[in-house]
Every structure is written in C-alpha cells, then in structure tokens.
Amino acid sequence: MIGKVYIVGAGPGDPELLTVKAVKVIKKADVILYDRLINPEILSYAKDSCQLVYVGKSDGKHTMEQSKINTLLYFYAKKYPNVVRLKGGDPFVFGRGGEEALYLSEKEVPFEIVPGITSSISAPAYSGIPVTHRGIAASFAVITGHEAPNKKKNVDWESLKGIDTLVFLMGVTNRQEIAKKLIEIGRNPEEPVAFIEKGTTEEHRVIESTLKEVAKNPPEVSPPAVFIIGEVVKLRNKIRWFDENKIPINYLVWRR
C-alpha cells in the first residue's frame, strides 16, 4: 500500500485564513508533519487518532535535516493512506514544498499541493499596507532575507532597484545589511519601511521606520516578521484596520 501526501499551506497564522480544502485534508489526515509556526488551533482540526509529528525549525536551524523530513514523508506514506505535510504560509513560497514534491515524485508517491495564504501579502494587508496600489506601486517582489547581501547568494540585488514594493521574508537577522544594500543600489534612503511581527495573529505588531534608519540603527524586531519596503507603507496611516485600536509603534518617534 502507498498512501497520498498532501503538502498543505496553513496560512500566516490566523486560523480563519486556513482554506476550506486545507481543513478537509487535515480532518482526514492519519499523520501530520508540521512546522514550528503552525497555530495550535489548526492542529485541533485533526481527528483524535491522527499522529502529530513535529519537524519544525528555530532561528534558521532545523530540528532535522530536509532529507530526513523527505524520508519521513515516504515512511508514513507506506503506512497510512492520508499523510499531511503542514507548512506555514504557502508551501511554494520559501517553504521548500517544491523540494518535497520532487522527492515524492521520484519515489512515485502520489501527492497533492494545497496552496496557503502567504504572509508576504496577508501580513501587510492586515497592517493596512497593500503591496500594489494604483498610482503608487505597479509591481512587487518577494525575496528571501535569509541570505546576507555580503555573502555568496542567488538574489539579484540590482534588479530590485526598479520594483515598487519589496517584501523580505526571513529578513530580521539581516535587516541592517539588507537596508544598506538597497541604498547602495539606488533605493531612496527616505523610503518608508515596516516590520510586521507575527502578522494576522493576536500578537500582530507593526514597527515603522525608513530605509536610512534601518541601515544606521535598526529597530528591535522579533521574528517571525515580514519586512516591507515601499511608498505603499504610507497608506497604512489611512487604511489600517486590524490593529486600529492598538498604539502604533513609530520607530522614528520612539528612538527620540
């Protein structure tokens, strides 16, 4: 017997942003391999007999190697008819879902991709920041912030100069280096930026600054956080809604 593996996106954190299909798949799962940022409320959809297997990471370090996770998917697919690989956000947006799908394909294990809402768009949306806006931003890019600009990398930094809105995921640790590099390639030092901590959750927090300030004296930011750069950040002043009753954190005022 060989079961089916569902590579499922759990969304950005708010359980209500889980897709209907994801809920259906989780409810019928015999085993769920889940990551660190999965909201426990989402796991509560699983049936009592479902086996929960933690395969998350912390501070960029896996509790186990990706190759081990791949092997576990194959192992459980040979034991159970319904295996769920549950990932935060969308599995194909820096989630290594493509790698797992390729492995399953090579092993001839049936699989299905269940897309999830990515934090790169939803966290800004909950903060009142649209990644595109007529007359302000006609383009946006989502970039890994895990690769430091001064190291060997795959990011084409020069190409980012002309993109209106930039969204960095996993960029908290390298935030100062990222800001310096963007200014170096020609981005406006006064360009507004925002860090969105634990977006869409009850602990959602927004820290506003400028590219210049992040490059000189970066604010304290706790991961997981989305790092967004662009003129669209200014729209937050008028269309913020989710945290409208919270005290805004403006780093430029705070550090005085």
User: For the residues 17-41, what does the mean pLDDT come to?
Assistant: 96
Check which CATH number belongs to the domain holding 218 and give it.
3.30.950.10
Within 141-239, where are the H helices? 175-184, 211-216, 236-239
82 plus 14 within the same structural domain: yes
Say how far apart CA 173 and CA 177 lie, in whole Å.
9
Q: 244: pLDDT confidence band, cut at 50, 70 and 90?
A: low
Q: What pLDDT was estimated at residue 65?
A: 87
**Encoding tokens for residue 222?**
């706790």
Q: Provide the pairing of β-strand 31-34 with 51-54.
A: parallel
108 plus 95 within the same structural domain: yes
58 plus 89 within the same structural domain: yes
Q: Provide the pairing of β-strand 205-210 with 192-197.
A: antiparallel
| Domain final residue pick, 53, 79, 114 | 114
3-state secondary structure of 73: helix
**Which residue segment(s) compose the domain that 36 sits in?**
4-114
211 plus 170 within the same structural domain: yes
Q: 158: pLDDT confidence band, cut at 50, 70 and 90?
A: very high
**Encoding tokens for residue 56?**
């998350």
143 plus 242 within the same structural domain: yes
| Domain final residue pick, 114, 148, 169 | 114
Say how far apart CA 77 and CA 79 lie, in whole Å.
5
Catalytically active residues are 35, 57, 170
131 plus 223 within the same structural domain: yes
Q: What is the pLDDT of residues 199-243, one digit of tens each?
A: 999 999 999 999 999 999 999 999 999 999 999 999 999 999 997
3-state secondary structure of 213: helix
Q: Position of tokens 């946006």?
A: 140
What percent of the chain lies above the pLDDT cut of 90?
86
Check which CATH number belongs to the domain holding 57 and give it.
3.40.1010.10
Q: Are 228 and 167 in contact (CB under 8 A)?
A: yes
Write out the H or E segment, with its range, that includes residue 166: strand 165-169
User: For the residues 62-90, what does the mean pLDDT come to?
Assistant: 93
Count up the domains in the chain and report the number: 2
107 plus 128 within the same structural domain: no
**Encoding tokens for residue 153?**
């990398």
Say how far apart CA 8 and CA 16 lie, in whole Å.
15
Reference 215, options 166, 171, 172, 176; nearest CA is: 176
pTM of the entire structure? Answer: 0.90
Q: Are 105 and 132 in contact (CB under 8 A)?
A: no
Residue 22 pairs in a beta bridge with none
Crossing angle, helix 97-106 and helix 66-77, to 10 degrees?
50
| Domain final residue pick, 114, 136, 160 | 114
